[in-house]
Structure 1
Amino acid sequence: MNYFRALLSAVLCLSVVFVHAQKSGTATVSGTVRSTGGEAVSGITVSLKGASITTVTDENGKFLLKNIQAGTYTLQISSVGYTTLEHAITVKPGVPQDISFTLSRNRKEMQAVTITGKSKIQEIKESGFAVNAIETKKYANTTADLNQILNRTTGVRIREQGGLGSDFKFSINGLSGKQVKFFIDGIPMEVMGSAMSLNNIPVNLADRLEVYKGVVPVQLGADAMGGAVNVVTNQKATSYLDVSHSYGSFNTHRSALTGQFADKKTGIIVKASGFLNSSDNNYRMKGVDVITGGTKNGNFITDFNGAEYVVADAKRFHDNYFSILGQLEAGITNKKWADVLMIGLGYNEAHQDLQTGFDQKTVYGKVERNSYAKSATIRYKKDDLFVKGLSLSTFAARSKDTYRTIDTLFGKYDWGNIWYESGYTEMGKSVKTIGVIERHRTYAMANISYVINPQHSLNLNYTLDHLKNENFNEVFKDFDTLPGKINKNILGLAYQQNLLEGRLVNTFFTKYYSLGLNRAKYIDRILTSQDTTAGNWGYGIAARYKLTEGLGIKASYEHAYRLQDVEEVFGDGLNLQGNPDLKPESSDNFNLGAFYNFKIDKHSFYIEASGFYRDAKDFIFPVPDLRSNVLKNENQSSVRITGFESELRYNYDQLFSVTLNMTYQNAINTTKQGQTESYYVEGTYKNKIPNQPWLFGNADFTIGKSDVFKKGTRLQFNWFTQYINWFYLTWESKGNPNGKSDIPTQFVQNASLSYSLQNGRYNISAECRNLTDRLTYDNFRLQKPGRSFFVKFRYFLH
């Protein structure tokens, strides 16, 4: 670590000397590129002929060329789908120039834009980081949420515990849970409240999805050990409206709205977004235990004489789900002192009946979980702050989340909706419980970037995350007299080189993770408040080298940390006991890959393959506490994960496309012996981690035709297939191999058909999931819904 920090410091010092040596006798040329409609255009190539200096416009249509020697040049502005412009300029020493351009569409090239232009998606995928970028436009008319879209990408597995709104486990290259972080426009999703979740957000709310694997860039300000997902929404300063509603099996309703009003003259912008989800989730469970016989009063069994369990099919009866979210932002754009200044308010809530425990042998009939969240936010962004090339982006939020879990029935249920009295609640408690958690959060982020010249740039990011946590049982009013607090500070610095005319890109970075805890702890049998602080340094590098324009290799490494989460330290108020003595997790993450894209006439190909290695220490995960009969988080195991993944994409014009991907991952337990009396893993050393897929893949086929029946229409058909190889549910070395529990191989088919009119203004689609009605399982062998049908209506105006 010391060697790396010294090397980074030396590189930064040399770059400063290099920059100052270059600046004498030079000048800058900057400007803005807009379309004929006045909209800022991003991704436009701006080059200076004769000087080999090239850049692209940012999301606000702005560009900057620095350190140009005095002389006469031709400035060229070009992009596929637009008419190329050329403009003669004369550069004088120390005299900056700012020029605006308006590009018009090239109608002859417009049909080929999607396969020949270098989009933001392609730029991200060709960075040095192991990242996958997904454009959501092709899924906009489907009924999918973001989880279902992400589950199709390479290296990602999402395992849900049931239907709409159920808990899920998100995994990237074998690391999962809290080790993976989720963001919306670079802001942690958890800041917005519990209903803001990937399985709630409809696809219409996202412009693209970015999946970082193992190595996470500095600008996200994350303590992510396994990777991160960034949901990027529409950032264009234009007016639009997108409204949709879908209805389907199990009485499922999903509504979404996102809209924006932008006044170009005043710069005023008002943006609103929201969604509503509800479902009965009453799909059929196959081959479950049901009580038959005995004496019943309604669905209450009063006498067990003659009663017995039989295996039968039964509908889920206590799995209703409802969630709603609304967000409103208002502000101004394109001012001299601010490119963006927005103030926002948000509210969301969710209501969920819990049908099962962590496996389907435990059945609930009255347990409920509700959550409420409200937030206030402010964001500010300014490019060329004080000097050319210096940009500042800040965000701050204040939020409050409230969670209530209700478990007040002394009884047990079976899958036939029959219950009987017992000495414990449904979740195994000896007292009735309405577990309440209140969390007040203050979050702030500042990101500063400086483009020294086209070859060198710096990025500095600071994140503050302060949270106050209170747990109590509302039934007995045992309010938390010693609430806990978590204070996270993450500082990151990155230095990027763009060398050999853009063929070689290197990003060096370092991160500092600081955690402060204030929590209640028993010391000599006296409950006291105790403060502790700790800090760790992380570091890494991401590099990409292009052998040709379409062929490149990339590699990345990060020594990363993941700080303790609030639930791990303070518990969830019901089943999970907090552990204030946890240590951070850490991992050394390596990625090595290559990509190749080329075009033959109207045929476009993209091939990518990579290998990965993860050596993770001090895993935090819940284990049984034998003394209190609940779960407790501990630093238990070390895991080594190796694997590889590959993806092939083919497009023919705008008619036909197919995507194939495959992932193999080998997650091995490297813990030789358990560390506490509650958990013992001897005999599982070098075993595969149980309950985790190790081989899976996807195939996505799409065919579409424009101007079907009428001009301005499009008819599109999609077929999606997912394959998951069988895997053990428990440790492979434990028990008899012939009777060992496993998750069988799954092969699921989905199909959808959509039709658009008036160039996408009116859209209707129909979809069938699990077309062959296969019995499918997910986390801990929980059954998922069988065949289901959905229809969606969408209106899009821009």
Structure 2
Amino acid sequence: MNILEKKWSVFFLFFVAISCVAQSSIKGKIVDHNSDPIVGASIQILELKGVGAISDFEGKFTIPITQGTYVLETSYIGFKKNTQKVVITSETVSLTIILQEDIEQLNDVVIKSKTENEKKRSKGYNLNIVEAKNLKNSSTDINQVIKSIPGVNIREVGGLGSNFKLALNGLTGNQIRYFIDGVPMENFGSTLTLNNFPINLVESIEVYKGVVPISLGSDALGGAININTGYKNKNYLDASYSVGSFNTHRVALNTQLIGKRNYYFRFTSFFNYSDNDYIMKDVPVFDLELGNFLGNIDAKRFNDEYTSAMLSAEFGVFDKAYADKWYFRLLNTFNKNNYQHPDNNIFRALGDFNTEGKTYLLSTVYQKTISNLELRASGLVGNVKETYDDTSTRKYNWTGNFIERDESDQLGELGVARSLFRLTDLVANSQFNIKYSLNDNHTIEGNHAFNFLKRKGKDDVNLNNTSFRAPSSLKKNVFGLSYTLKNSQNIYDVTFFGKHYLFSADQENSNGAIAQTIDFSTTGYGLSLAIRPIRDLTLKASYEKAYRIPESYELLGNGLFITPNFDLQPEESDNINLGGRLNTTFSTFKIAYDINLFYRQSNNFIRLKRPEGIFSEFDNLTDVTTKGIESGIKALFINRFEAQFNFTYQDIIDKDRFDEGFENAAFNSRVPNIPYFFWNTRLGAKFLKDKLAIYWNYSFTESFFLKTENNGNPLDKNDIPAQNIHGLDIDYSWKEGRYNLSASVTNLMDDLVFDNFRIQKPGRAIYLKFRYFLQ
């Protein structure tokens, strides 16, 4: 072998040796005591200066290293350092490092990182975010969770699945817009709402009050609610079953599989059922033949069954060169709702009237960040079907007895004629959002949202009902543009924005030609300001000239008892918020405190006119002024004991001098049937190394008048009495949260509780829930 060959042989052997040694590594994951990943933790090899790693957004790290024995030191702000000896004898060593919180160090930290939700809270918008992590074991839905937020009031007319009215700072109903993962739920129908969506399918809920950012592309008048279902690039299975009072059953399943090359599949579903057969106190009974009043009795609800279900399949990719995230989602929902009585009174007992809904939706969402440019686009098409069944030939009273109507009597239970009316909506919406940061201090954002609906109707029984036999359609465009300025020290940031609304509606005749049309456009604007004078304190102010475009059934009618009104104008409101947020840690306490003053000057309110017979229509009438204060505090002691308290006081005054041409008797008085003072408390503690959690809940609502307070003697008026509602939640988890068992008691004291239109709500109810979570 010549000298050259020897040199190459030695070099080759040396290269092979180095390659073999370099294949060894230390891999691991950094987590806290709750097994949540810690992002940005430092991992260092003490024997080798400069050799180490930083944990990624999943808490993971990798350190290539030669075989040997080393001391590994792991550190992160607010946690105690962790050191451990590691012996490298194979190609890869895998570790899970648990860091314990250091309370003393937390007091001395000058710069601390914020979670994404805390960054949102520190903006100038009046925003509450509910993080569902500690609520996933409870037997509840989104409505029951967000009604404990300051300024939020939810009025229901029964049990599970019943119709409800949600109010934010006095603005209510359609004046609030709803979103799932930023996609508008507008025109989704009755099958997917806040009162049937289980909380363990949710990661967080954002509630914007008054002023809504352009990124949601909304024509909200009073606020918006965005449900985040969460996104994790990991495999998991979350399944639960709940059983409880009034023959209530709830099932939820949420699972995700990650494939090769960052593909994923996610399946989400739920099923709800309840008889809602709770006892009603002092309901009136009328003779079925003559209609004479026979007296009041206590009676069980016998026609209030509710069923709903959802199936959702999502396929997508993440962390690709062409997309940070891109998915397609197919959604199918169904519900059937029996009605025991009309929503606004209990004088007429119904035995067969029911509605059904079916919704089919296909949507896609695309997200990509390129340097300083952020893009987000979404699109949705679908079909929504609603059926109203008023075909019963029977007449019921609250005893559950009935008589058959005479053959010549064509009355339905609700209408002047028996009816089986079907509405079919073709819906579509899209949204495009672009955000560009010129530098750390200047950001420009633009948004365009489009909504389309085409409605047809058919009555299979009442041939005289010709509503929507010729289709009607609506088109809405909302354009938004904003500019954000903040200083380098992040002491303040201010956002100026504008929104332009374009709307058109067409109603065809039997020949397919346009019979009526309406077009209007208008422009709104606003700003949000956040100032951080000291660490942990944010002062906020926001204003918006907001508009809300009429809904389809308000403008076009519903084909049954609501007639069209093409003269409706958009609602408008000047919304002002002033407040602050303190989020700090000292000694063994963590405290978050919010306070907000709000003012709403609202005009052209859309309201349902007094009926002419059984028919009515929506019109613009009432001007309303709302002012009030809301505040909330949450305290956490040694991460084990928790206390929450919030209250809302609001004055909602009718400022309209005339009502349909007559002197308005309610002028300058509170708008009736809306609470003006309410508060909530939640106390809890964790035991057995956080495996056992116990919470007590209490809510209070001051009494208020059912009708205007100006007419007659206030002492003789019908009111909705003060409400005191207690609840209890107990959770137990084992096997590191894989198995979870919980018990919930609502209306613990079994108090007589009333809600919207003084309709009685359920008494004491007990629910048990088992949840299995594997990650």
TM range (shorter): 0.7 to 0.9
1:449 aligns with 2:438: no
Provide the rounded CA distance (Å) in 2 between the counterparts of 1:455 and 1:43. 25
Q: Secondary structure at the match of 1:454?
A: coil
Q: Which amino acid aligns with 1:173?
A: N
Equivalent position to 2:238, from 242, 245, 266: 242
Provide the rounded CA distance (Å) in 2 between the counterparts of 1:175 and 1:428. 29
Provide the rounded CA distance (Å) in 1 between the counterparts of 2:549 and 2:570. 5
Counterpart in the other structure of 2:99 = 107
In structure 2, relative to structure 1, the CA distance for the partners of 1:619 and 1:602 (3 Å cut) is same
Equivalent position to 1:646, from 617, 623, 631: 631
Equivalent position to 2:750, from 773, 778, 795: 773
Counterpart in the other structure of 1:52 = none
In structure 2, relative to structure 1, the CA distance for the partners of 1:704 and 1:111 (3 Å cut) is farther
Counterpart in the other structure of 2:154 = 158
Q: Secondary structure at the match of 2:254?
A: strand
Q: Secondary structure at the match of 2:246?
A: helix
Counterpart in the other structure of 2:541 = 555
Equivalent position to 1:172, from 148, 163, 168: 168
Provide the rounded CA distance (Å) in 1 between the counterparts of 2:414 and 2:101. 66
Provide the rounded CA distance (Å) in 1 between the counterparts of 2:105 and 2:526. 36
Equivalent position to 1:691, from 651, 663, 673: 673
Counterpart in the other structure of 1:486 = 474
Counterpart in the other structure of 1:393 = 376
1:309 aligns with 2:294: yes
Q: Contact 1:80–1:117 (CA<8 Å) still a contact in 2? A: no
Q: Which amino acid aligns with 1:280?
A: D
Deviation of the 1:334 alpha carbon: 1.1
Provide the rounded CA distance (Å) in 2 between the counterparts of 1:81 and 1:35. 18
Counterpart in the other structure of 1:318 = 303
Counterpart in the other structure of 2:733 = 756
Q: Which amino acid aligns with 2:730?
A: L
1:274 aligns with 2:266: no
Counterpart in the other structure of 1:666 = 651
Provide the rounded CA distance (Å) in 2 between the counterparts of 1:291 and 1:344. 50
Which stretch of the first structure deviates more once superposed, 577-586 or 182-191?
Answer: 182-191
Deviation of the 1:222 alpha carbon: 0.5
Q: Contact 2:580–2:596 (CA<8 Å) still a contact in 1? A: yes
Deviation of the 1:82 alpha carbon: 9.7
In structure 2, relative to structure 1, the CA distance for the partners of 1:58 and 1:283 (3 Å cut) is farther
Q: Secondary structure at the match of 1:178?
A: helix
The CA deviation string for residues 232-282 of structure 1, in whole angstroms up to 9 with x for no partner, is: 11112111111001000000001111111113x411110111100000000
Deviation of the 1:427 alpha carbon: 4.6
Q: Contact 1:82–1:103 (CA<8 Å) still a contact in 2? A: no
Q: Which amino acid aligns with 1:695?
A: F
Counterpart in the other structure of 1:509 = 497
User: How do 1:307-386 residues align onto structure 2 when only pairs under 5 Å count?
Assistant: 309-357=294-342, 358-384=344-370
Deviation of the 1:409 alpha carbon: 2.9
Provide the rounded CA distance (Å) in 2 between the counterparts of 1:635 and 1:773. 41
Provide the rounded CA distance (Å) in 1 between the counterparts of 2:684 and 2:750. 22
Deviation of the 1:371 alpha carbon: 0.4
Deviation of the 1:37 alpha carbon: 8.1
Provide the rounded CA distance (Å) in 2 between the counterparts of 1:217 and 1:43. 28
Question: Unpaired segments of 5 or more residues in structure 2?
Answer: 1-26, 43-54, 60-74, 83-93
Provide the rounded CA distance (Å) in 1 between the counterparts of 2:722 and 2:401. 33
Equivalent position to 1:596, from 563, 582, 601: 582
In structure 2, relative to structure 1, the CA distance for the partners of 1:43 and 1:697 (3 Å cut) is farther
Equivalent position to 1:542, from 528, 541, 550: 528
In structure 2, relative to structure 1, the CA distance for the partners of 1:786 and 1:267 (3 Å cut) is same
Equivalent position to 1:634, from 590, 594, 619: 619
Q: Secondary structure at the match of 1:730?
A: coil
In structure 2, relative to structure 1, the CA distance for the partners of 1:571 and 1:110 (3 Å cut) is farther
Q: Contact 1:82–1:105 (CA<8 Å) still a contact in 2? A: no
1:408 aligns with 2:394: no
Which stretch of the first structure deviates more once superposed, 154-163 or 427-436?
Answer: 427-436
Q: Secondary structure at the match of 2:324?
A: strand
Q: Secondary structure at the match of 1:121?
A: helix
Deviation of the 1:598 alpha carbon: 2.6
Deviation of the 1:376 alpha carbon: 1.0
In structure 2, relative to structure 1, the CA distance for the partners of 1:42 and 1:623 (3 Å cut) is farther
Counterpart in the other structure of 1:436 = 422
Q: Secondary structure at the match of 1:780?
A: helix
Provide the rounded CA distance (Å) in 1 between the counterparts of 2:80 and 2:226. 29
Counterpart in the other structure of 1:21 = none
Counterpart in the other structure of 1:733 = 710
Equivalent position to 2:461, from 466, 472, 475: 475
Q: Contact 2:30–2:99 (CA<8 Å) still a contact in 1? A: no
Q: Which amino acid aligns with 1:769?
A: T
Q: Name the count of aligned residue pairs.
A: 700
Counterpart in the other structure of 2:17 = none
The CA deviation string for residues 178-215 of structure 1, in whole angstroms up to 9 with x for no partner, is: 00011111111246553211001000111011110000
Deviation of the 1:40 alpha carbon: 12
Deviation of the 1:480 alpha carbon: 3.4
Q: Percent identity?
A: 32
TM-score, normalised via structure 1 length: 0.83
User: How do 1:566-645 residues align onto structure 2 when only pairs under 5 Å count?
Assistant: 566-626=552-612, 629-645=614-630
Deviation of the 1:520 alpha carbon: 4.7
Q: Which amino acid aligns with 1:593?
A: G
Q: Contact 1:111–1:654 (CA<8 Å) still a contact in 2? A: no
Provide the rounded CA distance (Å) in 2 between the counterparts of 1:113 and 1:514. 55
Provide the rounded CA distance (Å) in 2 between the counterparts of 1:379 and 1:60. 23
User: How do 1:177-216 residues align onto structure 2 when only pairs under 5 Å count?
Assistant: 177-190=173-186, 192-216=188-212
Provide the rounded CA distance (Å) in 2 between the counterparts of 1:536 and 1:433. 39
Q: Which amino acid aligns with 1:468?
A: K
Deviation of the 1:42 alpha carbon: 9.4
Counterpart in the other structure of 2:700 = 723
Equivalent position to 2:117, from 113, 118, 121: 121
In structure 2, relative to structure 1, the CA distance for the partners of 1:256 and 1:428 (3 Å cut) is closer
The CA deviation string for residues 498-526 of structure 1, in whole angstroms up to 9 with x for no partner, is: 2151110111111011101112589xxx9
Question: Unpaired segments of 5 or more residues in structure 1?
Answer: 1-33, 47-56, 62-76, 85-101, 293-300, 708-712
In structure 2, relative to structure 1, the CA distance for the partners of 1:291 and 1:497 (3 Å cut) is same
Q: Contact 1:340–1:380 (CA<8 Å) still a contact in 2? A: yes
Deviation of the 1:59 alpha carbon: 8.3
Deviation of the 1:380 alpha carbon: 1.1
In structure 2, relative to structure 1, the CA distance for the partners of 1:461 and 1:110 (3 Å cut) is farther
Provide the rounded CA distance (Å) in 1 between the counterparts of 2:467 and 2:498. 42
Q: Contact 1:435–1:472 (CA<8 Å) still a contact in 2? A: yes
Q: Secondary structure at the match of 2:617?
A: strand
Which stretch of the first structure deviates more once superposed, 217-226 or 495-504?
Answer: 495-504
